[in-house]
């Protein structure tokens, strides 16, 4: 039985879908005003892994990941660039799609944009006002009254008193309570706006996800995911809005059964963030590392654990992935179907059913690789490819990865591109046959200096990037 760590319950719980055989999952996506960084990559890869495992487990999954395409940062960046908001957001949506595709991330079933669901947001805000959970302010904003919702703080585990004491909240004289948050922002000169019963304006960030998730998945759905940084206030506010807006006879309607949050990406033990200036965009890292190496690096850590970024960790990931591809080299794999009764597959499933424990699942892959190395078993090789594919790994032919144009330090391996490696291997073989071992060693050394490692096997000499 699949168990998921539920942030709301603070424990692992057996997963029971609302509708047998079906899973509804919503994940908070990107705010598209810049290129995605490795923190975004982790969210994309982690929940791609989750949806893949749910489908491999036989569930019919509806996976929704939204796009925030209206926001203070978006407006500011568009003005700075002297371009329209639509131009800016579409450019970075396209870049996000390019980056995620390279990382092997399958497209979610639905990718709603916030600007397409303003009517739904207006309806939800009106319901919150009617039910006494929100109020229009004199300045044209509409605020959610946190004190009106008894369950506020249940996701973060803090009482309102604790939150008021510990959180730095922008002082706003139009709020009844410093913790109240905005649902509708009154229009400012030069900003995009929509008509509403409270005057022209635009939605607040939190209401966007409540409206989009309920539109596509209903008032009550199975899984809501996102980065750990969204647990408070974003997800806390989503719960307050959604459960209050959909309440019946004063009783809140449960929004989500299982809340999932992936851990931070850290650099030198600090959270990767733009404010600290220590973030790395996906495309910058892709200039040095194969995309599958980045995916492997993300998945070799448990999704709830911190992920420490460094060149050394990525180099280690490349070497580990190289071991898996090397095991498959020269082994004919005609069938990668998974027999879940096989001991290795059963171990893999046990790991993944334990809150998506990818480090343990990968340990199974390496055990299988060891068996393939020893036996050259096509059955074991097929199972290795099949299980890895569940994680979105080992989808290429071995030589395509092993001879990729990057070396062990992540730098572009220009030497491999400039040399005719196969021709040099033939020349080395001819030198060895002529007992000219000095020439054979010279060729090996020249290739090594160009980032090419030769491997002599009973079947002949192969090569890979260092």
238 annotated among ligand-binding-site residues: yes
Q: How far apart are CA 293 and CA 314, in angstroms?
A: 7
28 annotated among ligand-binding-site residues: yes
User: Angle CA(374)–CA(376)–CA(382) in degrees, nearest 5?
Assistant: 120
For residue 12, the surrounding DSSP H or E stretch is strand 11-14
161 annotated among ligand-binding-site residues: no
User: At residue 308, what are phi and psi to the nearest 5 degrees?
Assistant: -90, 115
Q: How far apart are CA 260 and CA 355, in angstroms?
A: 10
208 annotated among ligand-binding-site residues: no
What's the token pair of residue 95?
């870049």
User: What are the beta bridge partners of residue 266?
Assistant: 271, 308
The answer to whether 342 and 383 have CB atoms below 8 angstroms apart is yes
On the CB side of 201, CA atoms within 13 Å amount to: 21
Which of 244, 212, 217 lies closest to 69 in space, CA to CA? 212
Q: How far apart are CA 349 and CA 53, in angstroms?
A: 9
Other C-beta atoms closer than 10 Å to the C-beta of 439 total 15
Residue keyed to tokens 């572009």:
412
What's the token pair of residue 349?
């499933």
What's the token pair of residue 237?
């506010």
The answer to whether 304 and 263 have CB atoms below 8 angstroms apart is yes
The answer to whether 416 and 426 have CB atoms below 8 angstroms apart is no
253 annotated among ligand-binding-site residues: no
Residue 23, classed as helix, strand or coil, is: strand
For residue 284, the surrounding DSSP H or E stretch is helix 282-286
Residue keyed to tokens 């605020």:
143
Q: How far apart are CA 161 and CA 173, in angstroms?
A: 19
Residue 309, classed as helix, strand or coil, is: coil
For residue 437, the surrounding DSSP H or E stretch is helix 437-449
Residues placed in the known binding site for ATP:
274
User: Which residues sit in the known binding site?
Assistant: 28, 209, 234, 238, 274
Residue set of the binding site for Zn(2+):
28, 209, 234, 238
């Amino acid at each position: 039985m699949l168990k998921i760590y539920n942030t709301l319950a603070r424990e692992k719980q057996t997963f029971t879908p609302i509708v047998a055989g079906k899973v509804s999952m919503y994940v908070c996506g990107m705010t598209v005003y810049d290129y995605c960084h490795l923190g975004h990559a982790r969210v994309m890869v982690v929940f791609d892994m989750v949806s893949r495992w749910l489908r491999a487990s036989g569930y019919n999954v509806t996976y929704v990941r939204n796009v925030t395409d209206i926001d203070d940062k978006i407006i500011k960046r568009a003005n700075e660039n002297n371009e329209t908001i639509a131009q800016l957001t579409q450019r970075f949506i396209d870049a996000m799609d390019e980056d995620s595709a390279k990382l092997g991330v399958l497209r979610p079933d639905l990718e709603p944009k916030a600007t397409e669901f303003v009517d739904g947001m207006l309806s939800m805000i009106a319901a919150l006002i009617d039910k006494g959970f929100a109020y229009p302010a004199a300045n044209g904003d509409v605020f959610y009254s946190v004190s009106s919702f008894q369950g506020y703080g249940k996701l973060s585990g803090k009482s309102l008193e604790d939150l008021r004491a510990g959180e730095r909240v922008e002082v706003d004289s139009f709020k009844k309570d410093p913790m109240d948050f905005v649902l509708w922002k009154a229009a400012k000169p030069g900003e995009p706006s929509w008509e509403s019963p409270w005057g022209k304006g635009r939605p607040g960030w939190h209401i966007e996800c409540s409206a989009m998730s309920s539109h596509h998945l209903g008032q009550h759905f199975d899984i809501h995911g996102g980065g750990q940084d969204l647990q408070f206030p974003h997800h806390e506010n989503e719960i307050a809005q959604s459960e209050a807006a959909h309440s019946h006879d004063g009783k809140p309607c449960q929004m989500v059964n299982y809340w999932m949050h992936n851990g931070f990406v850290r650099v030198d033990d600090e959270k990767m963030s733009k404010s600290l200036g220590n973030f790395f965009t996906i495309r910058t890292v892709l200039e040095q590392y194969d995309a599958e190496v980045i995916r492997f690096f993300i998945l070799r850590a448990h999704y709830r654990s911190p992920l420490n970024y460094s060149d050394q960790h990525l180099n280690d990931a490349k070497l580990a992935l190289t071991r898996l591809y090397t095991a498959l080299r020269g082994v004919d794999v005609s069938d990668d179907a998974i027999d879940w009764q096989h001991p290795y597959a059963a171990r893999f499933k046990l790991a993944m059913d334990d809150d998506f424990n990818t480090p343990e699942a990968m340990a199974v892959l390496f055990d299988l690789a060891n068996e393939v190395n020893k036996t050259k078993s096509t059955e074991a090789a097929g199972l290795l490819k099949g299980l890895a594919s569940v994680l979105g790994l080992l989808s290429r032919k071995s030589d395509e990865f092993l001879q990729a144009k990057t070396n062990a330090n992540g730098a572009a391996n220009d030497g491999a591109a400039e040399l005719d490696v196969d021709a040099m291997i033939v020349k080395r073989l001819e030198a060895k046959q002529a007992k000219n071992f000095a020439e054979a060693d010279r060729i090996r050394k020249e290739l090594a200096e160009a980032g090419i490692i030769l491997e002599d096997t009973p079947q002949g000499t192969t090569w890979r990037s260092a």
